[in-house]
Amino acid sequence: MGTSPLIRGFEVVIGLETHAQLSTASKIFSGASTRFGAAPNTQACAVDLALPGTLPVANRGAVERAIRFGLAVGAKIAPLSIFARKNYFYPDLPKGYQISQYEIPVVQGGRVEFAFEGRRKAVQLTRAHLEEDAGKSLHEDFAGQTGIDLNRAGTPLLEIVTEPDMRSAAEAVEYAKALHALVVWLGICDGNMQEGSFRCDANVSVRKPGAPFGTRREIKNLNSFRFLQQAVDFEVQWQIDRIEDGLAVEQATVLFNPDTGETRAMRTKEDAHDYRYFPDPDLPPLVIAPEWVERVRAAMPELPAAMAERFQRADGLSPDDAALMTQSLAFARYYESARDACGNAKLAANWLMGEVSKRLNAEGRSIEEAPLAPAQLARLIGRVVDGTVSNAGARQVFDALWSGAGSEVDAVIAERGLKQMSDSGALEAIVDAVIAANAKSVEEFRAGKDRAFNALVGQVMKASQGKANPAQAGELLRSKLRSG
Ligand code: ADP
Ligand code: MG
């Protein structure tokens, strides 16, 4: 705690509430589709609108995803939890209430761990609860009027609430990234932030070190990590300005404007009692038997931390390399396939961190979109290991495969004449010629100058048009110079 960074003498305190859209095909209490991008109001059914005579039924798949999340973060899965109505008026909520969980959420406690500033950091979770999303107001296309699209109404969300554990915007961003990676890894959320599948509310306050927590303001609906960083940065300066002007920070809900980079109060914050929470009479308590939890546990994928640990132990990767290989489940699977196919973990990891990541980053693609299959990468690595191509040659082959200019490693090597010289007779002829033509360097080498030797190797490489194996060329040169 004593190591918290201070800004203008203040400590920043942040708690995040994240809405992760659960990847079910249908809504949380109805059979309507959750597909993104449908024409407005074609996917909201009578249940989503709570029309008289309809009854909600909880979606098993949504509950199962909540259980999966709870197990992954080491939380308690409540054997019995309650769906409650949260009552408020808003045009995109024609029911007049949102079904959520209040007093007894399905996931209780737990923690999310991630690397931050060279250390392992754990953020404690308060809870995660199931709830339905509201509709959406569309202000853009209606010449001054607002349209309402209710397709999103009833979409399943898991709201994941942290303790006020974070002490900087950067730390909040790292937490959000780790949480994002985790829900995608678990297959419970598609993680698409542009489409709103993962959005954060940031609760921010400041205090003098050692003082009790200050009053917080809640920044709503941040749907990118950059916005999260910018919004918290702005908010912290705003709150400190206020306090230094002798004014109080009032509890409020604020919106971030990405165009100006500013936060602005939307309303003074309502308290829980304003929502008149009460158990939804249409939904029985959510009962989760221990057998159900065990079934979900048995079907869980290996978690990123465990997998990274395995890559260090079994493959000899460094902690940093192992963390990079487990940046997503797809990346880890790619690494494992390439490793198994070429039999060299370190080289597979190096290629993935080097050429592959460089290309993916430059092109803004994810590993699922890599044009090169793990088996092709493995074959290329094999051709470096068996001396067929040099590292430089291998990079050329890689570029050709990546850009679709060829699909078969050996064919590309042959077509582009990248095969290293393995014929020792041909190499020997070149070495002899180089020795004969560079008497000065030979003399200098014999006088003990290492640089002269490197120059001779360079000449051999040049004469072979880069096809000589440098190690082999060096060896041959050395033995000839010694015996000569
Ligand atoms: P509410 O019920 O009004 O949403 P909660 O107690 O559930 O309030 O807290 C909501 C979020 O605000 C949590 O993530 C919590 O960690 C965070 N939080 C609470 N107090 C503070 C504070 N003083 N500064 C920053 N964040 C806070
Ligand atoms: Mg809350």
pLDDT digits (tens, 9 = 90+) for 10-25: 999 999 999 999 999 9
pLDDT, tens digit, 9 for 90 and up, residues 281-307: 999 999 999 999 999 999 999 999 999
Mean pLDDT of 201-211: 97
159 sits in the region (left: phi over 0; alpha: psi -120 to 50; else beta) called beta
Whether the CB of 161 sits within 6 Å of ligand 1: yes
18 lines ligand 1 (CB under 6 A): no
* 476 or 54, greater pLDDT: 54
220 CB within 6 A, ligand 1: no
Domains and CATH numbers, the chain: 6-293 (no CATH), 302-415 (no CATH), 424-483 (1.10.10.410)
Q: What is the 199 CA–ligand 1 centroid distance (Å)?
A: 16
Does ligand 1 come within 6 angstroms of the Cβ of 17? yes
Q: Per-residue pLDDT averaged across 309-338, rounded? A: 96
Q: Is the dihedral of CA 293, 299, 301, 302 positive or negative?
A: positive
Q: What pLDDT shows up at residue 269?
A: 67
Which residue has its alpha carbon closest to ligand 1 atom 3? 271
| 239 Cβ closer than 6 Å to some ligand 1 atom | no
Residue range 34-84, pLDDT digits in tens: 999 899 999 999 999 999 999 999 999 999 999 999 999 999 999 999 999
Q: Does the CB atom of residue 13 touch ligand 1 within 6 A?
A: yes
pLDDT in tens, 230-278: 999 999 999 999 999 999 999 999 999 999 999 998 877 677 778 999 9
Distance, in Å, from the CA atom of 320 to the CA atom of 317, rounded to the nearest integer, reads 8
Q: Which atom of ligand 1 is nearest to the CA of 165?
A: 16
The predicted model gives 107-118 an average pLDDT of 94
CA 17-20-23 angle, to 5 degrees, is 165
Q: Which residue owns the Cα nearest ligand 1 atom 6?
A: 163
Taking only the tens place, the pLDDT of each residue in 83-98 is 999 999 999 998 999 9
Query: Which residue from 281, 144, 106, 134 is spatially nearest to 196, judged by alpha carbons?
Result: 134
Residue minimizing CA distance to atom 11 of ligand 1? 15
Which run of H or E residues covers position 39? none
Alpha helices in 202-318 (DSSP H): 225-244, 290-298, 304-315
Q: Does residue 171 have a pLDDT over 70?
A: yes
Helices (H), 14-112: 60-72
Ligand 1 contact, 105 CB (< 6 A) = no
Identify which of 18, 129, 161, 215 to mutate to test ligand 1's pocket (most ligand atoms within 8 A of the CB). 161
- The CB of 360 under 6 Å from ligand 1? The reply is no
pLDDT attached to residue 462: 87
Q: What is the pLDDT of residue 387?
A: 86
User: Is 2's pLDDT higher than 50?
Assistant: no
Residues 6+ apart with CB under 8 A from 11: 4, 167, 206, 207, 208, 209
Show the DSSP H helices in 186-268 as ranges.
Answer: 225-244
Question: Is pLDDT above 80 for 351?
Answer: yes
Whether 235 and 219 have beta carbons less than 8 Å apart is answered as yes
Q: 116-151: per-residue pLDDT in tens?
A: 998 889 999 999 999 999 999 888 777 788 899 999
Which one is predicted more confidently, 449 or 317? Answer: 317
222-249 b/e with 16+ CB inside 10 Å = b? bbbbebbbbbbbbbbebbbeebeeeeeb
Other Cβ atoms less than 10 A from the Cβ of 209: the count is 11
- The C-alpha atoms of residue 143 and residue 36 are separated, in whole angstroms, by 24
Q: For the whole model, what pTM was predicted?
A: 0.87
User: What is the 3-class SS of 92-115, one letter each residue?
Assistant: CCCCCEEEEECCCCCEECCEEEEE
- Residue 218: the pLDDT is 96
Q: For the beta carbon of residue 368, count every other beta carbon within 10 angstroms.
A: 10
216 CB within 6 A, ligand 1: yes
Left (φ > 0), alpha (ψ -120 to 50) or beta: where does 136 sit? beta
* Per-residue tokens: 230: 């910018």
